[in-house]
Amino acid sequence: MAERIMARDPKRASADATTNTPDASDLLENKLEQLNSLLWCFYGAGDGWFEDAGEAHRENLLWIASDLAREAVKLYQEMSPVG
């Protein structure tokens, strides 16, 4: 089983100690942890609440997951060297 990554405090700057603005790496880690937790609720809990939530709630939850994934891709691209 993979080691669980715990998102860092979003208020703590990682690279620049003079600001409180998190860098792309911190933001990416936070988005991926949020997405992981959200998807765990859908699948990992295994108690069926996702199916019982109703179509409108399921669509909204999947919309949140999609937004988190899209934001993670943008942050990854920001961190990746152009090549």
**pLDDT tens per residue, range 41-78:** 888 777 888 888 899 999 999 999 999 999 999 999 99
The pLDDT assigned to 33 comes to 96
Q: Would you say residue 1 has pLDDT above 50?
A: no
**Segment 6-48, tens digit of pLDDT:** 555 555 445 555 567 889 999 999 999 999 999 988 887 778 8
Kindly report the three-state secondary structure assignment for every residue of the chain.
CCCCCCCCCCCCCCCCCCCCCCCHHHHHHHHHHHHHHHHHHHHHCCCCHHHHCCHHHHHHHHHHHHHHHHHHHHHHHHHCCCC
The pLDDT assigned to 42 comes to 83
Domain ranges across the chain:
24-79
